[in-house]
Chains A and B, each alone.
Chain A
């Protein structure tokens, strides 16, 4: 084997390792998000404990991925699409780590929730499912380097914003009805806000995938929902 092909091969292997780390992080934060939603909606204590437990592993992976990305940048001076992929990877791992943090914080809050005020969690469940589904699609797009899928994810966040606004109103109503609900509702409001933040980071991931694949930026202004009742389009979340 000549020196040149050897170099290319080990470079390819390093890139492959970086992609593997991102996929693993993706799998972990998907799991964290799923368990966090389950903890709140179904009151599942085990799930509430598992989500924060996975956090150190995610953090560790982020550090490893960052070190590897910097190593590749320093030693290989990649160009064009390779360079973009590594720069995007640095940012995507950051987004994934934040998503993990939000999921852990949702799960911790679930342990403090005292749900007997007759507050409906159906809206929150829809929001949770929608956020999970977008996250799944984003990580799929990352693995497949699929720009069309990335655009689809980027656009789908509108419905998350819409649901967040609806949740906000609904929880306000519960609080006004009975002050005893205020404690639970404030927790749920934070849960909804954190889910909405997870949605935003998912959108960021989609933007970075698009950039890595095409070299172009998506428009700075993302289609946003939750602004007014005049016109809206939404990808409807799941029915369960």
Chain B
């Protein structure tokens, strides 16, 4: 058994063609084995390179499974692309059914599955039964995963866009047409009414334009939701960008913005996170000005742990009147608006938080909204410290289970 043989197996399963060149190009691999050393291990090496180390750096989403579907190993690429969703994927009943089909004669099987949570994904899996002689630490099934969500997302997003645009634009458009008819008919010779109507029409048109912009932004974030962010971002730079970009808005509304952050570099899409915080700050200023006190909005960065994972939380808090508990879980629904409990409902389309939610999901983060009547609302975006964690780890692969 040689590494080259393994490479041929992988080629058969994944169609990946760069492997041979990579093998010829020399090796700088971690020396520690991610698997328990076994007697078979010494044979299953090529010049001291373990099969598992090789699999770990395979630029494809490879996982090793037992016959009953327990996940034993995931390549770095599989972890980067699927992250939290790997567990849900491998225990899907269709995956189990495919594993049952494998036997001495049927060594290949496939499955296509659709997941709803944490983000909608369509995944295509190819399974290969690994022969006993090549068995990787006794784990018999090698699977290659590919994410085919893109096509599905494009279709869904397009359909949604048309539905929402037509639904939400119908009312303001009907109003515009009404005014145009009035201007051509009864108000044709009334300059005072004309001026007044044109003003209302300009407001309505501007509203429609902003709505379309928001819908497009929502479509964009939905389209790339299943693609994990790979850039780097700095918490301090994010906060200072948000402060600068929201300064005109805060000045116009007479809101004092306090920020607090320190430098911490981790993995994520910086522009998107800035967008998230700008949306939250904009909402917070809206609420702060309807409160009884001088409006203050704060943006604070802190390190915190959620569900045992280290991460960064960015909290936007206002001192407005607060939001009733019954609205909280529904705030991120599209077009959900808190009807004015205090008599003043904030203007908006109910899309800002939907956009926030999609971006946070893409980062495997969490969104927490807390509110106390009379004291204010706190929105916390928690993002896992990806990237950082990987640097701290000595070996590139993760042994699961």
Report yes or no: A238 in contact with B332, Cβ–Cβ below 8 A.
yes
Contact of A152 among B84, B306, B331 (CB under 8 A): B306
Contact of A136 among B88, B95, B370 (CB under 8 A): B88
Contact of B93 among A54, A140, A165, A233 (CB under 8 A): A54
Report yes or no: A239 in contact with B332, Cβ–Cβ below 8 A.
yes
Report yes or no: A236 in contact with B328, Cβ–Cβ below 8 A.
yes
Closest chain-A Cβ to B83's Cβ sits at a distance in Å of: 11
Chain A residues positioned under 8 Å from B354 (CB to CB):
239
A162 to B357 Cα, complex, angstroms: 19
Report yes or no: B328 in contact with A143, Cβ–Cβ below 8 A.
no
> How many residues on B have C-beta within 8 angstroms of the other chain's C-beta atoms?
50
Chain A residues positioned under 8 Å from B329 (CB to CB):
126, 130, 159, 162-163, 166, 234, 236-237
Contact of B368 among A137, A162, A228, A235 (CB under 8 A): A235
Secondary structure class of chain A's binding surface, majority of residues:
helix
Closest chain-B Cβ to A107's Cβ sits at a distance in Å of: 15
Secondary structure class of chain B's binding surface, majority of residues:
mixed
Check if A34 is an interface residue, CB within 8 A of chain B. yes
Check if B200 is an interface residue, CB within 8 A of chain A. no
Chain B residues positioned under 8 Å from A239 (CB to CB):
332-334, 353-354, 357-358
Chain B residues positioned under 8 Å from A31 (CB to CB):
92-93
Check if B230 is an interface residue, CB within 8 A of chain A. no
> How many residues on A have C-beta within 8 angstroms of the other chain's C-beta atoms?
56
Most chain B beta-carbon neighbours within 10 Å: one of A26, A27, A146, A149: A27
Report yes or no: B326 in contact with A169, Cβ–Cβ below 8 A.
yes
Check if A219 is an interface residue, CB within 8 A of chain B. no
Chain A residues positioned under 8 Å from B306 (CB to CB):
152
Check if A86 is an interface residue, CB within 8 A of chain B. no
Closest chain-B Cβ to A23's Cβ sits at a distance in Å of: 5
A147 to B306 Cα, complex, angstroms: 12
A159 to B324 Cα, complex, angstroms: 13
Closest chain-B Cβ to A19's Cβ sits at a distance in Å of: 7
Contact of B307 among A20, A152, A169 (CB under 8 A): A152
One of B63-71, B178-186, B256-264 contacting the partner: B63-71
Check if A52 is an interface residue, CB within 8 A of chain B. no
Report yes or no: B305 in contact with A148, Cβ–Cβ below 8 A.
yes
A34 to B117 Cα, complex, angstroms: 9
Asked whether A126 and B117 contact (CB < 8 A) given A140-B87, A148-B307, A229-B373, the answer is no
Check if A92 is an interface residue, CB within 8 A of chain B. no
A169 to B324 Cα, complex, angstroms: 14
Report yes or no: A132 in contact with B331, Cβ–Cβ below 8 A.
no
Closest chain-A Cβ to B304's Cβ sits at a distance in Å of: 12
Check if A139 is an interface residue, CB within 8 A of chain B. yes
Report yes or no: B116 in contact with A137, Cβ–Cβ below 8 A.
no
Other A-B pairs, 12, CB within 8 Å; known A27-B91, A37-B116, A166-B329 = A16-B70, A24-B68, A27-B95, A122-B333, A123-B330, A137-B307, A166-B326, A166-B327, A229-B325, A232-B328, A238-B117, A239-B358
Residues of B within 8 A of A (CB): 66, 68-71, 84, 87-88, 91-93, 95-96, 115-118, 120, 305-309, 324-334, 336, 353-354, 357-358, 361, 366-373, 400-401
19 A-B Cβ contacts within 8 A? A20-B66, A23-B70, A27-B69, A27-B95, A129-B116, A137-B307, A139-B91, A140-B87, A149-B307, A151-B307, A152-B306, A152-B307, A162-B328, A234-B328, A236-B353, A236-B368, A236-B369, A239-B333, A239-B354
Residues of A within 8 A of B (CB): 16-17, 19-20, 23-24, 26-28, 30-31, 34, 37-38, 54, 57, 122-123, 126, 129-130, 132-133, 136-137, 139-140, 143-144, 146-149, 151-152, 159, 162-163, 165-166, 169, 225-226, 228-240
